[in-house]
Amino acid sequence: MLKHLFYIIAASTIIISCSTKYQPYAANYNFKSVNGQPDYQNLDYWAAHPRKWDPSDSLPEPLRTEPRDTLADVFFLYPTTFTAKKDADQSNAFIDDENINAKTDYSTLLFQASVFNQHCRVFAPRYRQAHISNFYSKDKSKATDAFELAYLDLKTAFEYYMMNWNNGRPIIIAGHSQGAFLAERLLKEYFEGKELKKQLVAAYVIGWPVPKEYFTTLKMCEDATQTGCLISWRTYRTGHIPSYLKNTSKNADNLFRQGNSYVTNPLSWKTDSENISNEFNKGSVLTKFNKIYKHTSNAKIEKDLLYINKPKFPWSFLYFTKNYHIADINLFYISIRENVEQRINSFLQ
């Protein structure tokens, strides 16, 4: 699978998602690793953990009166935040990098992982993520090693979580972008055909394709309440074909050729091609965390991509991109939040 990942995401696709100007919160991020490796006994090595406050515990202001519980756990694998061009020669982020850790916590944990916090304990391990340049590097061996190291950390964290904190509880696996890519491996190794699948509420593998050939027994969710299944989408403006899919239809060995990946519509939770109107999009959380914008976009599946019309929100006329990778979760924040509740309730029945 790794040999195909270099066709997936062009540099411009993800670079727009992360600023290199993020300032560290020194009071919270001054821990240092003794050997450069994570120590998952120490909560400093968890970006999100139920035994400490972190940004994933935050709620947009309009949601702060809703009841909350912890019926399930979510193991969240965050996306690439190690993006600075000056660091491109460094294959993986340092586990104790203050800037990267602060940037991760107050971007993806706040705006993405928080979507699960109504009914879940949120676990998000820090890991030595691969630098963004590895996605399009010509040095395939070096890039493969970078992703292997990132996965090793997540695998170690997951095993520690299972041994010490899960205690047979229902599990949601969730990841975005690089996190989703690594989540597929985690699902393959620990859930597919394994006893642990009985605890799987669902897997939200977002911002990364799920090739139809990759899993054999783990299937796509076909409705809003099915459990033990996969959910995935990649969001683009209607009619846009990303560069990595162009001119690949004749390549029979390309796992990510157009039409070869599963996709879910996050407004209907079905896999058909029906256009779901923006009237059904109950809320997006975009640049202002405490503001929920309603009816920002529709959603329609074409082949293996999720297409939406240009989102409508204040100043959206200044938003020209046709690749909505960075907003895969944010555009459908309330829909995802409600669906997590639906699937947990269905699982517990």
**32-76 residue pLDDT tens:** 999 999 999 999 999 999 999 999 999 999 999 999 999 999 999
Residue with tokens 């990778």: 325
- Element containing residue 262 per DSSP (H, E): strand 261-262
Residue-wise DSSP of 118-184: TTEEEEEE---PBPGGGGS-S-HHHHHHHHHHHHHHHHHHHHHHIIIIITT--EEEEEETHHHHHHH
How does pLDDT run along the chain (349 residues), one tens digit per residue?
A: 444 443 333 333 333 333 334 444 444 788 999 999 999 999 999 999 999 999 999 999 999 999 999 999 999 999 999 999 999 999 999 999 999 999 999 999 999 999 999 999 999 999 999 999 999 899 999 999 999 999 999 999 999 999 999 999 999 999 999 999 999 999 999 999 999 999 999 999 999 999 999 999 999 999 999 999 999 999 999 999 888 776 554 444 444 455 689 999 999 999 999 999 999 999 999 989 999 999 999 999 998 899 999 998 887 777 778 999 999 999 999 999 999 999 999 999 9
- pLDDT (0 to 100) of residue 255: 42
Closest CA to 203 of 181, 6, 303, 149: 181
Half-sphere exposure of 150 (CA within 13 A, CB side): 27
pTM for the model: 0.91
Alpha-carbon dihedral sign for residues 328, 329, 334, 340: positive
**For the chain, what's the residue count?**
349
212 CB neighbour count, 10 Å cutoff: 13
DSSP H stretches of helix in the chain: 11-15, 98-104, 110-111, 140-161, 178-190, 333-348
Domain chopping of the chain, boundaries: 2-348
